[in-house]
Amino acid sequence: MVNLKVSNQKRNAEHRLEFLGDSANFKTKLVKKMSNLQTYAVVDLEMTGTNPNGSERLIQFSCVFTEGNKIVNTFSTLINPLRKIPEDVQNLTNITDKDVKNAPTFDEVAGTIYALLSDTVFVAHNIELDYRFLNSEFERIGFPKLDLEGIDTVQLAQIAFPTLASYRLGDLAHFWGFKHKHPHHADSDAFVTAELFILLQKKLASMPEALLKSLLKLSDALLYETKQCILQAYENKRKQYEMLDKEHIEVEGIVLRRPRFEVKKGFNDKFPKTEAEQSRLFSGVIDWRKEQAKMMNDIHEHFNGAEKMLLVQAPTGMGKTLGYLVPGAYQAQEGDSTVVSTSTTALLDQIVKESVPLLKKIVPFDFTYEVMKGSGHYIDLEKFSHTLKIPMNNQTRLLQMRILSWLWQTTTGDMDELRLTTYRAQLFKMIKHAGVGSLSDKSAFYGLDFVRLRDVRVKFADFVFTNHSYLVRHAEEIGKGKANLILDEAQNIPSVAMEQSGSVFDFDLVKIYSDTLLVSMESRISFSFEGLIRQHFLTKNEYRTILRNIQTIDHSVPFIREKFWERYVRTKSGSKKEFVETLLSPNKVLGLLKENFAIFLKTTKAYTELLGQMTEMKQRFFRALDAGTLDHEAVNLLTDWFIDCEKLVESMEKWHLLEFSELEKMDETTLVWMKYSPNNPKTHLRLCFSRLEAGKYLEERVYGYFKHIVMCGALLFTKKTEDYTKDQLRLDNDVLTKRYQSAFDYAHQARAVFATDSPDLSSMLSKAEYHAYLTDALADIIEKTSLQTLVLFNSLEDIEAVYNGLSVRGLNKKREILAQGVNGTPEKLKKRFVLTSSKSILLGAGSFWEGIDLPEEKLELLVITRLPFQSPDSLINKVRYRNVQAKGHNPFSAVSLPEAALKFRQGFGRLIRTKDDHGILAVLDSRIVNKRYAHEFTDTLPKNLRIDRVEMKDIPEIIRDAEKDFGF
């Protein structure tokens, strides 16, 4: 690495020769240039700030030169910005004011940098920032702008490797094992980017010509001249005249893997019951574990016994997953399949990617498996093919390029493999699968459809892996009375069943979307549906029929809304509540609709007809696209119209719940209520439906379709939480139960500290006072410790208030603070927290209590701000508690307390995930110390966990002591 310090611009030519080495090397450079061997300048900058408006300054410039997929030279220099470097920049880059004190200014090195970059292609990771900033610096001192071709390695990486979890440079370096000595230091970043760029060029070169050709058609959407990399790979591949390999097939420009069906080799072996047999089986793969072996034997015995239900308490770390997979695999030798259902798709993916490959190494025979998710998780190839012909913005085109590259590799078509933080982009609404019934057998993709092929394979699979959400909706389909069922994290399935039954019909959302459609059809100035009639896309009569059906929905749904408002809304003057929930009943809803039967029937008929018209219009549109009979304006109009139609259909999706037959089926366990603002009749009126308890539903709609059922959980039950869980799962009190010992040594792996003096929220003057307490407490911990920290809250309101308080103190400049609902979605924050290379702080609620796996250095400190009791004021809980009370039970003791204790234990479960893990739990709610029910929470924790009960001011000291003990 050349560290260049210069004093004036007159020596630019000398520096140029110094960089090249000598005249011989310089001539070699010219010969290479003349032979069209392109030089790429891979650049990275560090600056005082990222605003390229002339107010910020460079503090480091680094460049790595590559030719022919090889690094040929490097250049780097620190730059004196002639101002103080902000503290957060110093913390990020480790470049201090002292480091740049004797470095040259940008004026002194600008000529050298300008000369070095001439006749190169500018490459950067996030080129928009580096290229624009460097040019603004050149302009500031009187240099002309660089006029170089540019390539962005972020976009290339997204296309070449579409399933990576992150495209941040540090994460990519970690993924491929690049040496990254100083992240956020320009010399190290530039070198890693150069290695990445070479890797990306090689990956593009490995792609088939047909795929490169399809990517090239969309590549105008890429930044600067990034498309040239794809063009070069395509031209090279075209000259080689390579045929598409036998593993792939091309259909309408989309390269797909050919479908394959596994044929198992015949093998029949008895289940290994003894320690010697199991040790031989596991030899060279994993160590034999006593508790895991017990679980395997118990489940094998259960599968071959008379009892239907088995409840298994299997603590984290004992090998629970293999504990049920191994007996399931041997059961397949007897002709029985096993359905494994997990609480989250993240856990489902973990089983498939980690546990199944391990199982394949262990058992001495083949087995087959299939993953079952809702059809919306999968791509509809026909729909995706059509979107390639529709005008799209650049961001969508990049997404399509990623999908094309992914389709070349995937065997499942499961779009979750793309590992995006959100699938809310309009493209996904256009291409998501709607089920086998929506397919046309005339489509070129019909025989390759991922959902069709999956449904064929699942009939012969030894294992079917799914999630609780899919299971409760499709138990009959995948169980068929023949399979065994494993419910992993079974305690979560009642809440999933209740969520599945929850539905909302928003009257006002329907009005908004139908109005939007009518405007686009009746008053579009530049181009309207009249133009479509002139182009013979549809007739006047068809147009009038579609318009009439939308108008019917637009008028009738608000009419029925007003009937609900007039009869059931009780406007309370002076009410401070933003929303009010009014309890109804299925019979009340049914009675009102019967009184307005003609309007209801008219709306249902119009909606049904509109669905059919939309389907016909889409098919006609795609045929017109293929034939090229529509002009650009017509294509844009119809594309927008279909998007708006989908929004209307989504808003009307729950209309079927208002049908008489649906309402008549609802029993006393179904809750119906209205939600509205009492002081504003113009705000949304929502009709809500939910199930009050799931036990009966599970008994009738899930359990009956399986031979044997094993319910697994990692929770430590108290008497109260066990009774509650059995009641929720509809299990008998004497159900067969097996308990196993934890593999973790909590006495040496973990430590807990509880605050004894936190204020009681109910006695505080305001919520702001509580937020101030939390902010002070967390600020003290953050300032005095340096651990990877997850802070669990019960509400997004608390998170926002505390995050703002921490930001006012400037703590977000010293540590990365991620806050749910403030600076990202849960999915985005989980990804960033897991992949971070620094000690971050994550403020989370909801799914963060149970839906995130954070082993070892990914989580060192867990803070629980408040015991996770549900709000007793929600309508659902009021009714639940009232029903429990009617049965002679105390709602707090029978429902609220065990629910909170179970959630508390799930939160603690985030902390220790492996035998090498260490962690600290801090609870800032003194009720865990002072209340008579405190033992219900502490009893769910490991018995040998050390717990310190101290005043809030002493908690940071306890954490620091544990930090030293654990060697963090």
Binding-site positions for ATP read 314-321
List b or e across 187-196, with b for residues whose CB sees 16 or more CB atoms inside 10 angstroms. bbbbbbbbbb
What are 63's strand-pairing partners? 43, 75
Residue type at position 852: I
What does 285-305 look like in DSSP terms, one character per residue?
TS---HHHHHHHHHHHHHHTS
Q: How far apart are CA 417 and CA 410, in angstroms?
A: 8
What does 663-707 look like in DSSP terms, one character per residue?
HHH--TTEEEEEEE-TT-TTS--EEEEEES--HHHHHHHTGGG-S
Q: Closest Cα to residue 33, out of 68, 71, 78?
A: 68
Q: How far apart are CA 546 and CA 198, in angstroms?
A: 55
Q: How far apart are CA 211 and CA 230, in angstroms?
A: 10
Q: Closest Cα to residue 884, out of 873, 872, 895, 875?
A: 895
Burial class (CB in 10 A: 0-12, 13-18, 19+), 808: exposed
Q: How far apart are CA 952 and CA 399, in angstroms?
A: 49
Length of the chain: 968
Ramachandran class of 435: left when φ > 0, alpha when ψ lies in -120 to 50, beta otherwise: left
Q: Which residue has the tokens 């403020």?
A: 843
In 3-state terms, what secondary structure has residue 239? helix
Q: Which two tokens stand for residue 151?
A: 């390539």
Q: How far apart are CA 130 and CA 153, in angstroms?
A: 12
Cα radius of gyration (the chain): 32
CB 125 within 8 A of CB 183: no
User: CB 226: neighbour CB atoms within 10 A?
Assistant: 22
Q: How far apart are CA 891 and CA 884, in angstroms?
A: 6
Residue type at position 206: S
Q: How far apart are CA 420 and CA 158, in angstroms?
A: 11
Q: Which residue has the tokens 């006047």?
A: 540
Q: Which two tokens stand for residue 642?
A: 């279909």
The 8-class DSSP code of residue 221 comes to G
Task: Please measure the distance between the N-terminal and C-terminal CA atoms of the chain and give it in whole angstroms.
Answer: 33
What are 257's strand-pairing partners? 248
Q: Which residues are annotated as a binding site?
A: 314-321
CB 158 within 8 A of CB 398: yes
Residue 469, CB half-sphere, CA atoms under 13 Å: how many?
A: 13
What does 102-113 look like in DSSP terms, one character per residue?
TSPBHHHHHHHH
Give CA angle at 936 (930, 938), nearest 5°: 75
Q: Positive or negative CA dihedral for 864, 867, 868, 871?
A: negative
CB 681 within 8 A of CB 580: no
In 3-state terms, what secondary structure has residue 74? strand
Q: 12-20 vs 106-117: helix axis angle to the nearest 10? A: 50
Q: Which residue has the tokens 């709306």?
A: 603
> How far from 498 is each of 592, 697, 713, CA to CA, in Å?
26, 9, 19
